[in-house]
Amino acid sequence: MSEPQRVSNFLRTIIRDDLDSGRVAEVVTRFPPEPNGYLHIGHAKSICVNFGLAREFGGRCNLRFDDTNPSTEDVEYVEAIVRDVAWLGFAWDGEVRYASDYFATLYAWAQHLVRNGLAYVCELDPEQMRAYRGTLTEPGRDSPYRDRPAEQSLELLERMRAGAIEEGRMTLRARIDMGSPNLNLRDPVLYRIKRAPHHRTGAAWCIYPSYDFAHGQEDAIEGITHSICTLEFEDHRPLYDWFIGQLPVPARPRQYEFARLNLSYTVTSKRKLRQLVEEGHVSGWDDPRMPTLSGLRRRGVTPAAIRDFVERTGVSRADGLVDLGMLEYCIRDDLDKNAPRAMCVLRPLKVTLLDYPADRIEQLTAPAHPARPELGQRTLPFGRELWIDREDFRTEANKDFKRLVAGGEVRLRNAYVIRADEVVRDAHGEIVELRCSHDPATLGRNPSDGRKVKGVIHWVEASQALDCEVRLYDRLFLDPQPDAGERSFTDNLNPHSLAVLRGCKAEPGLAALPAGAGCQFEREGYFCRDPEAGDGGAVVFNRTIGLRDTWSGSAAAKG
């Protein structure tokens, strides 16, 4: 896997110093997603940072699921996340790990805290707990159950574990400091009762650890040296360290935070992405307009482009908004260098070459990529009947129109110069056919009599053309910050984010293009073959991105 050029950042400096000083002998990181949705472009940054740093310094990275909330989690999400991480080009150390692997150990450590007077069973309900917690300017108040004897809390905790207490009736809380200016230290919840089947443990447990209690201890069990997360967990670090300091853990990991990836014209909240799916604004989590990794993959974005984008955005502790144009640049740059070329007519107009033999099919050749001779050649059938794009013909045009005009000439890409001699219309006056002639001496050369033919258009031979459906995807939102302000983010949806073109005509060789593979439709953009079939079982191509940026300078250029 080729890597983008690395840019120095504070995490690399910390790790290098830790190795040089001997604080750690080997770098061990982890990527710990919660399986309650599909991964998105923001997660890609965390994946690249954690796996990338481990690889760069010769260490290891674990893939571990934070499966501590069975009411929102599903094996579908687990499978999708495993697939996405591997697709991005990263391999985790050993088997996939789960928080549920450590439930017994975490429970024993919770009992340890109770025995040492550092945790207690509380009977405040959620509303009362919020009221007792205090505010940013006012300290919290002690729970009336805070001084409950350890033996009683241990007995109640075991009853919670055994399923003898109804959901919401009790929680286990750490006994830290209700007057702390850090609200995370005001006796946080360690365990809560949840009567929901777990996708791995079934009904074996009916109490589940909180993220704050589970996460650092899982890091310690796995020998994580650098627990790297995003800035919203910075205020949780004192709690992370408190647990590590109070428990008999086998290692002492440290937490470090970096700024999350915020991308313009994009929402990355799992809740909002789920809303888009459930309300039918998109076809699913893998809709090519979604910022999910499965959606980007289905759209034809490559792992190399995403890794390049993440490296270009850098790693810092300062929040900011990254222009979506940077991601699109990385996509175009990668596809321009690597995507093979092909021709596809999106809005077909029939061309008949009256002077070309009706029974002849000529096999022309063209490079698969203009700058990559090692990719070889492709074969282009050429015959009497062709398809050109309707937008490449006008009955009248000014001198700036460099395509085909009635009575004028144009070059067919990789083929001959043709002249439009006659326009055929239907009963409604619509143009249905062009009757043309060709210059047989212009295959691969200019006209011999010195006449200038400036325009070049794409085409497809009619009898062997691949019938296909083309889906033109664009940005899902019109506003650079769709979820900012008082309006609902769904009010900023782009009504033109998808246009479906049926009856398109492509080079016959594209029938062999595997699902998910991409190419450049010359003069149109970059496309990939969708794994699903369109109407009538037609081959479907999804537009990955246009050949050039049409959004710069206008927030609603497509509106």
Could you read off the pLDDT of 469-520 as tens digits, one per residue? 999 999 999 999 999 988 899 999 999 999 999 999 999 999 999 999 999 9
Work out the average pLDDT over 79-84. Answer: 98
Residue 449 has what pLDDT? 81
Examine the domain organization and report whether 47 and 136 are in the same domain: yes
Examine the domain organization and report whether 511 and 377 are in the same domain: no
The pTM is what? 0.93
Examine the domain organization and report whether 32 and 166 are in the same domain: yes
Examine the domain organization and report whether 321 and 231 are in the same domain: no
Residue 431 has what pLDDT? 97
Residue 290 has what pLDDT? 98
- With a CB cutoff of 8 Å and minimum separation 6, the contacts of 135 are none
Higher pLDDT, 6 or 444: 444
Examine the domain organization and report whether 218 and 328 are in the same domain: no
Examine the domain organization and report whether 528 and 393 are in the same domain: no
Residue 479 has what pLDDT? 95
Q: What is the CATH number of the domain that holds 385?
A: 2.40.240.10
Higher pLDDT, 281 or 487: 281
Q: What is the CATH number of the domain that holds 482?
A: 1.10.1160.10
Examine the domain organization and report whether 85 and 136 are in the same domain: yes
Residue 485: inside a domain, yes or no?
yes
- Number of folded domains that form the chain: 3
Examine the domain organization and report whether 509 and 533 are in the same domain: yes
| Domain stops at, among 405, 425, 457 | 457
- Give the confidence band of 319 by pLDDT, cuts at 50, 70, 90: confident
Active site residue 548: no
* Cα angle: 338, vertex 342, 343; to 5 degrees: 150
- Judged against a pLDDT cut of 60, whether residue 559 lies above it is answered with no
Find the DSSP H helices in 197-348. 211-221, 237-246, 270-278, 293-299, 303-313, 324-338
Active site residue 138: no
Residue 265: inside a domain, yes or no?
no
Residue 535 has what pLDDT? 84
pLDDT digits (tens, 9 = 90+) for 105-124: 999 999 999 999 999 999 99
Which residue in 83, 148, 252, 260 is the catalytic one?
260
Residue 462: inside a domain, yes or no?
no
CA distance 287 to 544: 12
Domain hosting residue 210, numbered range: 10-260
Residue 554: inside a domain, yes or no?
no
Which residue in 16, 34, 234, 403 is the catalytic one?
34
Examine the domain organization and report whether 135 and 191 are in the same domain: yes
Which residue in 45, 173, 254, 270 is the catalytic one?
270
Work out the average pLDDT over 129-146. Answer: 97
Nearest to 242 by CA among 137, 113, 390, 406: 113
- Give the confidence band of 545 by pLDDT, cuts at 50, 70, 90: very high
Active site residue 422: no
CB 311 within 8 A of CB 7: yes
Residue 551: inside a domain, yes or no?
no
| Domain stops at, among 457, 486, 509 | 457
Residue 557 has what pLDDT? 41
Examine the domain organization and report whether 451 and 515 are in the same domain: no
**Six-digit token string for 15:** 């790790």
| Domain stops at, among 407, 432, 457 | 457
Examine the domain organization and report whether 274 and 409 are in the same domain: no
SS3 (DSSP) at 184: helix
Residue 557: inside a domain, yes or no?
no
